[in-house]
Amino acid sequence: MFGKILKKVDLLKKFSESDIKKIEKIGSIKKYAKNSLIFNKNEMGSHFFVVKSGKIKIFSSIGNKIKTIAFIGKNNFFGEMSLLGCGTRSASAKAIEDSELYVISKKNFEKYLLKNPNLTIKILYSLADRLARADKEIEAMLFHNILGRLAAAILEIKENNSNQKEIRINQTEIASYLGTTRVPVCRAINTLKKSSVIDYYNGVLIIKDEARLASMAGK
């Protein structure tokens, strides 16, 4: 059931169909009620999650400031770096809707790798891809203006919501995602609306011209 989803995970994308089927067997389903905390920043990571249903918010906080990093929707994943023994969590995760998650423990994954040591090289390839993408994200953060950053964020949010072109998200959440305030986000959204790149009303963002968003995001 989750084989196709697991195959999209950066960490596992080099694995064969038979490998994915084996990994599928070492996980379990867990339910989280709306507003449940899944894990906290700086706690030891021991599980990897795939969203079967619901919506998850990934966020970080410093003092009184909260920065939304991502919204993870159905058929997407988070927490995968815990499977590599990366120590503590770099962010927190919270269910913002009633959610069902497919959970794989670090312990079970390590047992699987010990039985299949040839798969370690595939993980190294996946990590190299991940680092390359992280470099691009850092570049975007440093050099893109608010429109470019907003365009990139919209495409990321779309990808994390099963590629739906209609996304329910308010401007405060978008501002938190970008690490800025609501005012510049409101202006940027209005600019994209006037250019017929997106539409936005009653908390629903509609992508009208994905190609132009990608161009603005430098993709």
Name the band, by pLDDT with cuts 50, 70 and 90, for residue 207. Answer: very high
> Domain check: are 103 and 211 in the same one?
no
- Provide, rounded to the nearest whole percent, the portion of the chain with pLDDT above 70: 89
Query: Which of 136, 157, 179 is the C-terminal boundary of a domain?
Result: 136
Average pLDDT, the chain: 83
Whether residues 176 and 71 fall in one domain: no
Please say whether the beta carbons of 63 and 97 come within 8 A. Answer: no
Do both 88 and 196 map to the same domain?
Answer: no
Does 175 lie in the same domain as 129? Answer: no
Whether 127 and 50 map to the same domain: the answer is yes
Report the CATH number at residue 151: 1.10.10.10
Among the candidates 107, 136, 165, a domain finishes at 136
Do 123 and 186 share a structural domain?
no
The CATH number that applies at residue 100 is: 2.60.120.10
Domain of residue 63 covers: 3-136
Using one digit for the tens of pLDDT, what is the confidence trace for 24-73? 888 889 999 999 999 998 888 888 898 888 999 999 887 677 888 888 88
Task: Return the pLDDT at 163.
Answer: 80
Q: How does pLDDT run across 112-163, given as a tens digit for each residue? A: 878 877 777 777 776 677 667 666 666 655 445 788 889 988 998 888 887 8
Q: Which of 40-54, 79-93, 174-188 has the lowest mean pLDDT?
A: 79-93
Task: Say whether both 102 and 11 belong to one domain.
Answer: yes
* DSSP state string for 201-215: ETTEEEES-HHHHHH
3-state DSSP call for residue 176?
helix
What's the number of domains the chain is made of? 2
Distances from the Cα of 123 to the Cα of 12, 61, 127, 130, 141, angstroms = 7, 30, 6, 10, 27
Q: Are residues 150 and 130 in the same domain?
A: no
Q: What integer pLDDT is reported at residue 1 of this predicted model?
A: 60
Angstrom distance (rounded) from CA 50 to CA 127: 19
Say yes or no: 36 and 69 in one domain: yes
DSSP 181: -
What is the torsional sign of CA 141, 55, 8, 102? positive
Specify whether 157 is located in the same domain as 118.
no
Looking at the structure, do residues 131 and 150 belong to the same domain, yes or no? Answer: no
